[in-house]
Chains A and B, each alone.
Chain A
Amino acid sequence: MAAQVRQWRTGTVGAAVVTVLGLTLTACGGAKVGDDSAGSGSPGKCGTFNLAVNPWVGYEADAAVVAYVAQKDLGCTVKKKDLKEEIAWQGFGTGEVDTVLENWGHDDLKKKYITQQKTAVSAGSTGNKGIIGWYVPPWLAKAHPDITDWKNLNKYASEFRTSESGGKGQLLDGDPSYVTNDAALVTNLKLDFKVVYAGSETALIQSFRKAEKNREWVIGYFYEPQWFLSEVPLVKVNLPAYTTGCDADAAKIACDYPVYDLDKIVSVKFAKSGSPAYRLVKNFTWTNDDQNTVAKYIAVDKMSPEAAAKKWVEANRDKVDAWLK
Chain B
Amino acid sequence: MAVALEKSAPVAGVRRVGRRTVVAAILAAWLLLFVVLRGKQTLTLAAADLTDLHRWFNDVNDSIGADRNSNPLFLYFFNEIRLVIDNLVTFVQHLISQPPAGRPVPQIGWLGVVGIAGYVSWAVGNWRVALLAVAGFTFLGLQGLWQESMDTLSLTLSAVLVALLFAIPLGVGAGLSERFNRIVTPFLDFMQTMPTFVYLAPLTLFFLIGGASATIATVIYAAPPAIRITAHAIRSVPETTVEAAESLGATRRQALLKVLLPMSKRTVVMGVNQSIMAALAMVTIAALIDAPGLGKTVVQALQSLDVGTAFNAGLAIVVMAIVLDRVTTAAGAREETARRSKNRLLTWRRPLLGVGAVVTAVLVYLSHTYVWAAEFPGEGSIGGSIASAADTVTAWVQDNLSGLTNAFRDGITNGLLNPLQTLLTDSPWWLVGAVLIALGAVLGGWRAGVTTAVCVGLLVGTGLWSDAMTTLASTLVATVLVMLLGIVLGVWMGRSMLVDRLLRPSLDAAQVMPPFVYLVPFLALFGATRFTAIVAAVVYAVPVAIKIIADGVRAVPGTTVEAAVSAGCNTWQIITKVQLPMSCGALTLATNQGLIYVLSMVVVGGLVGAGALGYDVVAGFSQGQLYGKGLAAGLAIVLLGVMFDRITQAAARRASA
Name A's B-contacting residues (CB within 8 A).
Answer: 2, 5-6, 9, 13, 16-17, 20, 23-24, 27, 30-37, 39, 55-57, 60, 81-87, 90-91, 93-94, 96-97, 108-109, 112, 116-117, 162-164, 172, 175-177, 183, 195-207, 209-210, 214, 227, 250, 298-300, 302
Contact = CB atoms under 8 A, between A and B. Distances in A.
Interface in B596-627: 606-611, 614-615, 618-619, 621-627
Given A83-B290, A163-B529, A196-B609, 15 more contacts: A13-B352, A20-B362, A24-B362, A33-B104, A81-B209, A87-B201, A112-B62, A163-B418, A172-B528, A177-B623, A183-B47, A200-B608, A202-B523, A203-B608, A302-B304
A26 to B, nearest CB: 9
Contacts of A210: 398, 402, 523-524, 527
B251 to A, nearest CB: 43
A284 to B, nearest CB: 22
Given A81-B290, A203-B609, A196 B371 contact: no
Contacts of B524: 206, 209-210
B69 A32 contact: no
A90 B606 CA distance: 24
A93 B69 contact: yes
Given A16-B355, A20-B363, A23-B366, A197 B609 contact: yes
Nearest to A250: B48
B497 interface: no
B571 interface: no
B615 A57 contact: no
A29 B461 CA distance: 71
A154 to B, nearest CB: 21
A4 to B, nearest CB: 12
B170 interface: no
Contacts of A162: 527, 529
B363 A206 contact: no
Interface stretch (B20-28, B233-241, B341-349, B580-588): B341-349
A131 B138 CA distance: 47
Interface string B519-533: 110011001111100
Contact of A198 (B48, B300, B608): B608
B617 to A, nearest CB: 9
Contacts, number: 211
Contacts of A250: 48
A205 B290 CA distance: 24
Given A172-B528, A202-B519, A207-B523, A108 B372 contact: no
A36 to B, nearest CB: 8
A5 B541 CA distance: 45
A124 B269 CA distance: 56
B148 to A, nearest CB: 13
B457 interface: no
Contact of B304 (A35, A214, A227): A227
B289 interface: yes
A199 B606 contact: yes
A85 B622 contact: yes
A163 B520 CA distance: 19
A202 B607 contact: yes
Interface stretch (B407-415, B478-486, B646-654): B407-415
Contacts of B302: 202
A83 B305 contact: no
A33 B305 contact: no
Nearest to B604: A199
A35 B610 CA distance: 55
Interface in B189-247: 200-201, 204-205, 208-210
Nearest to B62: A112
B254 interface: no
Q: Which of B103, B304, B623, B624 is most buried by chain A, counting CB atoms within 10 A of its CB?
A: B304
Contacts of B609: 164, 196-199, 203
A300 B304 CA distance: 8
Contacts of B530: 163-164
Contacts of B290: 81-83
Nearest to B530: A164
Contacts of A39: 104
Given A5-B345, A90-B204, A199 B615 contact: yes
Given A86-B622, A199-B611, A207 B528 contact: yes
A80 B48 CA distance: 32
14 contacts: A9-B348, A24-B362, A33-B374, A84-B622, A87-B209, A91-B208, A93-B69, A94-B68, A108-B625, A162-B527, A163-B413, A195-B47, A199-B528, A199-B611
Given A30-B371, A81-B290, A86-B201, A206 B69 contact: no
A16 B358 CA distance: 11
Contacts of A97: 209
B299 A32 contact: no
B54 interface: no
Nearest to B368: A33
Nearest to A172: B528
A206 B520 contact: yes
B303 A60 contact: yes
A20 B359 contact: yes
Contacts of A87: 200-201, 204, 209, 289
Nearest to B362: A20
Interface string B351-372: 0100110010011001011111
A206 B528 contact: yes
Interface string B365-385: 010111111100000000000
A176 B615 contact: yes
Q: Which of A24, A82, A183 is most buried by chain B, counting CB atoms within 10 A of its CB?
A: A82
Interface in B527-548: 527-531
Contact of B618 (A13, A199, A206, A300): A199
Contact of B370 (A30, A57, A183): A30
B603 to A, nearest CB: 10
A6 B348 contact: yes
Contacts of B62: 112
B208 A199 contact: no
A197 B372 contact: no
4 smallest beta-carbon distances between A and B, as pairs: A176-B619, A299-B304, A177-B622, A198-B528
Contacts of B409: 163
Given A24-B366, A202-B523, A96 B210 contact: yes
A194 B357 CA distance: 66
A199 B610 contact: yes
B359 A17 contact: yes
A207 B418 CA distance: 22
Contacts of A112: 62, 624
A221 to B, nearest CB: 12
Q: Which of B65, B359, B523 is most buried by chain A, counting CB atoms within 10 A of its CB?
A: B523
Contacts of B66: 116-117
A199 B614 contact: yes
Interface string B384-417: 0000000000000010001000000110011000
Given A57-B304, A82-B287, A176 B103 contact: no
Contacts of A2: 342, 344
